[in-house]
Amino acid sequence: MSPVRALQEALAGEHAAVYLFGVLGGQVSRSEQAPLADLISTSYATHIARRDELNDLVSAHHHAPVAAAPAYRIPGDVGTTAGARALALRVEERCLALYGQTVESTTGTDRAWAITALRAGAVDVMSYGARPTDFPGMTWS
C-alpha cells in the first residue's frame, strides 16, 4: 500500500471516529454516567486532533485529504451503556489497526506519527474494556 493511501485510510477512519464519538457524546448522560461521558469526551477530542494531524500529513504529500462522509450508519444499539461502550471499543480497535497499517506503509515523519498514534491508541482502547495483547494493532496473515 502506498504511504498516501495508508494515510488517507487512517484519515477516513478518524472522520468516522469523530462522527461516532460525537454521536456517543450525545447519547451518554453526563449526569448519570459521568465516567463514561468523560471518556467519550476525551476520545472525541483525541480523534479530532488525529484527524487534523492526518489532514496535514496528507497535504504535505500534495494530495487532497479525503473528506468525511455526510453521515455514518451506527451499528448496534448505542442507547445503553453497554452498547455505547461496545461501539467505542470497536471504533478504537479499528483505528488501532489502521495506525498499524500506517506504520507498515510509511517512513519518516509519517511513520513517527503512526507509531505515536499506535502506542497511545493501544492504551486508549483499554479504557473501553480491552485487555493487553501481545501485538496491538497487528493482525497476522
Residues near other proteins, by CB under 8 A = 4-5, 8-9, 12-13, 15-17, 19-20, 62-64, 66-69, 72-75, 90-91, 94-95, 97-98, 100-101, 103-106, 111-112, 114-115, 118-119, 121-123, 126, 132-141
One-letter amino acid for residue 139 of the chain: T
Nearer to other proteins, 32 or 108 (CB): 108
Largest CA distance in the chain: 46
| Min separation Cβ 139 and other proteins, Å | 4
Report in angstroms how near the CB of residue 107 gets to other proteins at its nearest. Answer: 8
Closest separation in Å from C-beta 25 to other proteins: 16
Query: Of 21 and 36, which has the nearer Cβ to other proteins?
Result: 21
Nearest to 123 by CA among 108, 114, 133, 109: 133
Supply the minimum distance, in Å, between the C-beta of residue 104 and other proteins: 4
Nearer to other proteins, 19 or 36 (CB): 19
Distance CA 128, CA 48 (A): 18
Long-range CB contacts (< 8 A, 24+ apart) of 60-65? 60/109, 61/3, 61/4, 61/7, 63/4, 63/8, 65/8, 65/11
CA 11 from chain center: how many Å?
9
Q: Is 30 or 77 the residue whose CB approaches other proteins more closely?
A: 77
